[in-house]
Amino acid sequence: MIIDCHTRIWSSPGQLGIGSAGWLASKCGQENLSADPGEHAAAARDVTKTLVWGFRSAHLKAEVPNSFLADYVAQHSREALGVAAIDPTDSDVMERLANIAGRTEFAGITICPAAQGFHPADTRAFKVYEFCAERALPVFVEDGTDFAPQAILEFARPLLFDEIARSFPSLTIVIAAMGSPWTSETVALLAKQPGVYADVAALLRRPWDAYQALLTAHQHGVTDKLLFGSDFPFSTAAEAIERMYRINEITHGTGMPAVPREVLRSIVERDTLAELGIGQSVG
Protein backbone atom coordinates (compact mmCIF):
# COMPACT_ATOMS: atom_id res chain seq x y z
CA MET A 1 0.00 0.00 0.00
CA ILE A 2 1.25 3.46 -0.93
CA ILE A 3 -0.75 6.62 -0.28
CA ASP A 4 0.44 9.76 -2.07
CA CYS A 5 -0.85 12.47 0.24
CA HIS A 6 0.26 15.57 -1.70
CA THR A 7 -0.50 16.12 -5.38
CA ARG A 8 -2.03 18.90 -7.44
CA ILE A 9 -3.92 19.41 -10.68
CA TRP A 10 -4.89 22.58 -12.48
CA SER A 11 -6.30 23.49 -15.86
CA SER A 12 -3.88 26.40 -16.31
CA PRO A 13 -0.78 27.64 -14.42
CA GLY A 14 -2.50 31.03 -14.31
CA GLN A 15 -4.82 29.58 -11.67
CA LEU A 16 -1.87 29.82 -9.27
CA GLY A 17 -2.19 33.60 -9.30
CA ILE A 18 0.14 36.59 -9.22
CA GLY A 19 3.73 35.67 -10.00
CA SER A 20 2.83 32.08 -10.91
CA ALA A 21 4.90 32.03 -14.10
CA GLY A 22 8.04 33.16 -12.27
CA TRP A 23 7.36 30.75 -9.43
CA LEU A 24 7.03 27.80 -11.79
CA ALA A 25 10.14 28.82 -13.69
CA SER A 26 12.20 29.06 -10.50
CA LYS A 27 10.85 25.80 -9.10
CA CYS A 28 11.15 23.57 -12.13
CA GLY A 29 12.45 25.61 -15.02
CA GLN A 30 9.08 25.67 -16.78
CA GLU A 31 6.66 28.58 -16.93
CA ASN A 32 3.88 26.45 -18.40
CA LEU A 33 4.20 23.25 -16.38
CA SER A 34 1.22 21.00 -16.98
CA ALA A 35 -0.78 19.51 -14.13
CA ASP A 36 -3.28 17.90 -16.45
CA PRO A 37 -5.80 15.56 -14.80
CA GLY A 38 -5.00 12.89 -17.38
CA GLU A 39 -1.30 13.02 -16.51
CA HIS A 40 -2.18 12.89 -12.82
CA ALA A 41 -4.31 9.79 -13.35
CA ALA A 42 -1.45 8.11 -15.23
CA ALA A 43 1.06 8.91 -12.48
CA ALA A 44 -1.37 7.70 -9.81
CA ARG A 45 -1.24 4.16 -11.19
CA ASP A 46 1.95 3.64 -9.17
CA VAL A 47 0.17 4.18 -5.83
CA THR A 48 -2.92 2.92 -4.02
CA LYS A 49 -4.59 6.30 -3.49
CA THR A 50 -3.76 9.97 -3.99
CA LEU A 51 -4.86 13.12 -2.22
CA VAL A 52 -5.33 15.96 -4.69
CA TRP A 53 -4.99 19.47 -3.25
CA GLY A 54 -6.77 22.58 -4.42
CA PHE A 55 -5.47 26.11 -4.05
CA ARG A 56 -7.18 29.40 -3.34
CA SER A 57 -5.67 32.77 -2.41
CA ALA A 58 -7.43 36.11 -2.52
CA HIS A 59 -4.05 37.64 -1.69
CA LEU A 60 -2.50 36.23 -4.88
CA LYS A 61 -5.74 36.29 -6.91
CA ALA A 62 -5.44 32.54 -7.36
CA GLU A 63 -7.87 29.66 -7.46
CA VAL A 64 -7.85 26.03 -8.49
CA PRO A 65 -11.58 25.55 -7.85
CA ASN A 66 -12.83 22.90 -5.48
CA SER A 67 -15.47 22.05 -8.08
CA PHE A 68 -12.62 21.17 -10.48
CA LEU A 69 -11.18 18.80 -7.87
CA ALA A 70 -14.58 17.32 -7.08
CA ASP A 71 -15.24 16.55 -10.74
CA TYR A 72 -11.87 14.84 -11.08
CA VAL A 73 -12.34 12.80 -7.89
CA ALA A 74 -15.83 11.77 -8.98
CA GLN A 75 -14.30 10.30 -12.13
CA HIS A 76 -11.48 8.58 -10.21
CA SER A 77 -13.12 7.75 -6.90
CA ARG A 78 -11.15 4.53 -6.43
CA GLU A 79 -7.82 6.27 -6.87
CA ALA A 80 -8.25 9.83 -5.58
CA LEU A 81 -9.61 12.03 -2.80
CA GLY A 82 -9.71 15.81 -2.83
CA VAL A 83 -8.30 18.25 -0.30
CA ALA A 84 -10.45 21.36 -0.62
CA ALA A 85 -8.80 24.78 -0.74
CA ILE A 86 -10.05 27.18 1.93
CA ASP A 87 -8.90 30.78 2.34
CA PRO A 88 -9.67 31.99 5.88
CA THR A 89 -9.57 35.61 4.69
CA ASP A 90 -12.69 35.11 2.52
CA SER A 91 -15.74 36.85 3.95
CA ASP A 92 -17.81 33.74 3.15
CA VAL A 93 -15.27 31.22 4.40
CA MET A 94 -17.69 29.50 6.78
CA GLU A 95 -20.21 29.07 4.00
CA ARG A 96 -17.50 27.59 1.81
CA LEU A 97 -16.55 25.20 4.60
CA ALA A 98 -20.16 24.13 5.08
CA ASN A 99 -20.41 23.42 1.35
CA ILE A 100 -17.50 20.96 1.39
CA ALA A 101 -18.03 19.35 4.83
CA GLY A 102 -19.40 15.86 4.53
CA ARG A 103 -18.84 15.60 0.77
CA THR A 104 -17.31 12.25 -0.06
CA GLU A 105 -14.99 13.83 -2.63
CA PHE A 106 -13.01 15.64 0.08
CA ALA A 107 -10.73 14.21 2.75
CA GLY A 108 -9.84 17.52 4.40
CA ILE A 109 -8.93 21.12 3.67
CA THR A 110 -5.73 22.92 2.72
CA ILE A 111 -4.62 26.38 3.75
CA CYS A 112 -1.46 28.37 3.03
CA PRO A 113 -0.95 31.25 5.48
CA ALA A 114 2.02 32.65 3.54
CA ALA A 115 0.27 32.69 0.19
CA GLN A 116 -3.08 33.73 1.67
CA GLY A 117 -1.63 36.55 3.76
CA PHE A 118 -2.77 35.67 7.27
CA HIS A 119 -1.02 34.78 10.50
CA PRO A 120 -1.86 31.18 11.48
CA ALA A 121 -3.36 32.45 14.76
CA ASP A 122 -5.62 34.98 13.00
CA THR A 123 -9.12 35.04 14.52
CA ARG A 124 -10.62 34.22 11.13
CA ALA A 125 -8.44 31.13 10.88
CA PHE A 126 -9.40 30.04 14.41
CA LYS A 127 -13.00 29.73 13.23
CA VAL A 128 -11.80 27.41 10.46
CA TYR A 129 -9.79 25.27 12.90
CA GLU A 130 -12.74 25.02 15.27
CA PHE A 131 -15.02 23.92 12.43
CA CYS A 132 -12.53 21.28 11.27
CA ALA A 133 -11.83 20.00 14.79
CA GLU A 134 -15.54 19.50 15.43
CA ARG A 135 -15.94 17.54 12.19
CA ALA A 136 -12.64 15.61 12.25
CA LEU A 137 -11.48 17.29 9.03
CA PRO A 138 -7.68 17.26 8.73
CA VAL A 139 -6.03 20.59 7.91
CA PHE A 140 -3.19 20.32 5.38
CA VAL A 141 -0.84 23.29 5.60
CA GLU A 142 1.16 24.31 2.53
CA ASP A 143 4.35 25.96 3.75
CA GLY A 144 4.22 28.64 1.07
CA THR A 145 7.95 29.15 0.70
CA ASP A 146 7.81 28.12 -2.96
CA PHE A 147 5.14 30.63 -3.91
CA ALA A 148 5.36 34.07 -5.48
CA PRO A 149 7.38 36.97 -4.00
CA GLN A 150 4.10 38.45 -2.72
CA ALA A 151 3.72 35.54 -0.27
CA ILE A 152 4.43 36.52 3.34
CA LEU A 153 7.28 34.31 4.43
CA GLU A 154 7.07 34.91 8.18
CA PHE A 155 3.60 33.32 8.19
CA ALA A 156 5.08 30.03 6.92
CA ARG A 157 6.97 29.14 10.13
CA PRO A 158 5.86 25.71 11.45
CA LEU A 159 6.31 26.77 15.08
CA LEU A 160 3.34 29.13 14.67
CA PHE A 161 1.11 26.05 14.61
CA ASP A 162 2.04 25.07 18.15
CA GLU A 163 -0.56 27.55 19.40
CA ILE A 164 -3.14 26.03 17.07
CA ALA A 165 -2.38 22.51 18.26
CA ARG A 166 -2.61 23.62 21.89
CA SER A 167 -5.90 25.37 21.28
CA PHE A 168 -7.47 22.50 19.33
CA PRO A 169 -5.97 19.23 20.65
CA SER A 170 -8.40 17.10 18.61
CA LEU A 171 -7.46 18.83 15.33
CA THR A 172 -5.28 16.89 12.87
CA ILE A 173 -2.68 19.11 11.17
CA VAL A 174 -0.34 18.06 8.34
CA ILE A 175 2.63 20.31 7.56
CA ALA A 176 3.74 20.09 3.93
CA ALA A 177 7.37 19.36 3.00
CA MET A 178 8.24 19.06 6.71
CA GLY A 179 7.93 22.84 6.87
CA SER A 180 11.05 23.34 4.75
CA PRO A 181 13.32 25.21 5.28
CA TRP A 182 12.36 25.08 8.97
CA THR A 183 12.40 21.30 9.20
CA SER A 184 13.85 21.26 12.73
CA GLU A 185 10.89 23.32 13.93
CA THR A 186 8.57 20.76 12.38
CA VAL A 187 10.41 17.86 14.05
CA ALA A 188 9.99 19.61 17.42
CA LEU A 189 6.30 20.13 16.67
CA LEU A 190 5.85 16.46 15.73
CA ALA A 191 7.46 15.39 19.00
CA LYS A 192 5.38 17.80 21.09
CA GLN A 193 1.90 17.68 19.54
CA PRO A 194 0.06 14.35 19.06
CA GLY A 195 -2.21 15.71 16.33
CA VAL A 196 0.53 17.14 14.10
CA TYR A 197 1.99 15.24 11.12
CA ALA A 198 4.19 16.24 8.19
CA ASP A 199 4.62 15.09 4.61
CA VAL A 200 7.88 14.79 2.70
CA ALA A 201 6.55 16.13 -0.61
CA ALA A 202 8.88 18.55 -2.43
CA LEU A 203 11.64 17.83 0.11
CA LEU A 204 12.70 14.70 -1.78
CA ARG A 205 13.74 16.78 -4.80
CA ARG A 206 16.48 18.30 -2.61
CA PRO A 207 18.57 15.29 -1.47
CA TRP A 208 20.75 17.06 1.11
CA ASP A 209 17.79 18.82 2.73
CA ALA A 210 15.78 15.60 2.68
CA TYR A 211 18.60 13.57 4.22
CA GLN A 212 19.11 16.05 7.07
CA ALA A 213 15.38 16.33 7.78
CA LEU A 214 14.76 12.58 7.74
CA LEU A 215 17.82 11.86 9.88
CA THR A 216 16.74 14.47 12.42
CA ALA A 217 13.24 13.01 12.51
CA HIS A 218 14.70 9.52 12.99
CA GLN A 219 16.99 10.63 15.81
CA HIS A 220 14.03 12.29 17.55
CA GLY A 221 11.83 9.23 17.11
CA VAL A 222 9.09 10.90 15.07
CA THR A 223 9.36 9.21 11.67
CA ASP A 224 6.07 7.44 12.43
CA LYS A 225 4.43 10.84 11.88
CA LEU A 226 5.93 11.39 8.43
CA LEU A 227 3.72 10.84 5.37
CA PHE A 228 4.69 10.10 1.78
CA GLY A 229 3.86 12.68 -0.87
CA SER A 230 5.15 13.09 -4.41
CA ASP A 231 4.42 16.80 -5.02
CA PHE A 232 2.96 16.01 -8.46
CA PRO A 233 3.27 17.60 -11.04
CA PHE A 234 6.79 18.55 -9.94
CA SER A 235 7.57 14.88 -9.37
CA THR A 236 5.76 11.62 -9.98
CA ALA A 237 5.15 9.09 -7.22
CA ALA A 238 7.60 6.68 -8.86
CA GLU A 239 10.32 9.35 -8.93
CA ALA A 240 9.66 10.34 -5.31
CA ILE A 241 9.80 6.73 -4.11
CA GLU A 242 13.12 6.19 -5.87
CA ARG A 243 14.53 9.36 -4.31
CA MET A 244 13.37 8.22 -0.88
CA TYR A 245 15.16 4.88 -1.11
CA ARG A 246 18.32 6.53 -2.47
CA ILE A 247 18.47 9.18 0.26
CA ASN A 248 21.52 7.62 1.95
CA GLU A 249 23.63 7.69 -1.21
CA ILE A 250 24.66 11.23 -0.36
CA THR A 251 26.58 9.93 2.68
CA HIS A 252 28.37 6.97 1.08
CA GLY A 253 32.03 6.90 2.06
CA THR A 254 31.65 9.72 4.58
CA GLY A 255 31.03 7.86 7.83
CA MET A 256 27.88 9.90 8.37
CA PRO A 257 24.88 8.04 9.84
CA ALA A 258 22.26 6.56 7.53
CA VAL A 259 18.50 6.66 7.83
CA PRO A 260 17.55 2.97 8.24
CA ARG A 261 15.90 1.48 5.16
CA GLU A 262 13.06 0.09 7.26
CA VAL A 263 12.29 3.64 8.38
CA LEU A 264 12.21 4.84 4.78
CA ARG A 265 9.94 1.93 3.81
CA SER A 266 7.58 2.64 6.70
CA ILE A 267 7.11 6.21 5.42
CA VAL A 268 6.48 5.10 1.84
CA GLU A 269 4.06 2.34 2.85
CA ARG A 270 2.21 4.15 5.65
CA ASP A 271 -1.60 4.01 5.54
CA THR A 272 -2.00 7.76 5.67
CA LEU A 273 -5.79 7.59 5.45
CA ALA A 274 -6.03 5.46 8.57
CA GLU A 275 -3.34 7.49 10.33
CA LEU A 276 -5.26 10.72 9.80
CA GLY A 277 -8.63 9.20 10.59
CA ILE A 278 -9.99 10.00 7.15
CA GLY A 279 -12.16 6.89 7.25
CA GLN A 280 -11.25 5.49 3.86
CA SER A 281 -8.43 3.19 4.82
CA VAL A 282 -7.49 0.88 2.01
CA GLY A 283 -5.94 -2.54 2.10
At 283 the pLDDT is 34
Amino acid 29: pLDDT: 60
| Domain membership flag for residue 283 | no
Domain that holds residue 188: 3-275
229 part of a folded domain: yes
Q: What is the residue-level pLDDT of the chain in tens, covering all 283 positions?
A: 999 999 999 887 777 776 665 566 566 665 567 788 889 999 888 999 999 999 999 999 999 999 999 999 999 989 999 999 999 999 999 999 999 987 899 999 999 999 999 999 999 999 999 999 999 999 999 986 666 788 899 999 999 999 999 999 999 999 999 999 999 999 999 999 999 999 999 999 899 999 999 999 999 999 999 999 999 998 999 999 999 999 999 988 888 999 999 999 999 999 999 999 997 433 3
280 lies in some domain: no
The pLDDT score that the predictor gives to residue 95 is 95
Residue 143: predicted pLDDT = 82
- Residue 32's pLDDT is what? 61
Residue 83, pLDDT score:
97
* Whole-number pLDDT of residue 21: 57
Quick one: three-class SS letters along the chain?
Answer: CCEEEEEECCCCHHHHCCCHHHHHHHHHCCCCCCCCHHHHHHHHHHCCEEEEECEEECCCCEEECHHHHHHHHHHCCCCEEEEEECCCCCCCHHHHHHHHCCCCCEEEEEECHHHHCCCCCCHHHHHHHHHHHHCCCCEEECCCCCCCCCCCHHHHCHHHHHHHHHHCCCCCEEEHHHHCCCHHHHHHHHHHCCCEEEECCCHHHCHHHHHHHHHHHHHCCCHHHEECCCCECCCCHHHHHHHHHCHHHHHCCCCCCCCCHHHHHHHHCCCHHHHCCCCCCCC
The domain tally of the chain equals: 1
* pLDDT value of position 12: 77
Structural domain contains residue 281: no
Q: What is the CATH number of the domain that holds 95?
A: 3.20.20.140
- Looking at residue 85, its pLDDT comes to 97
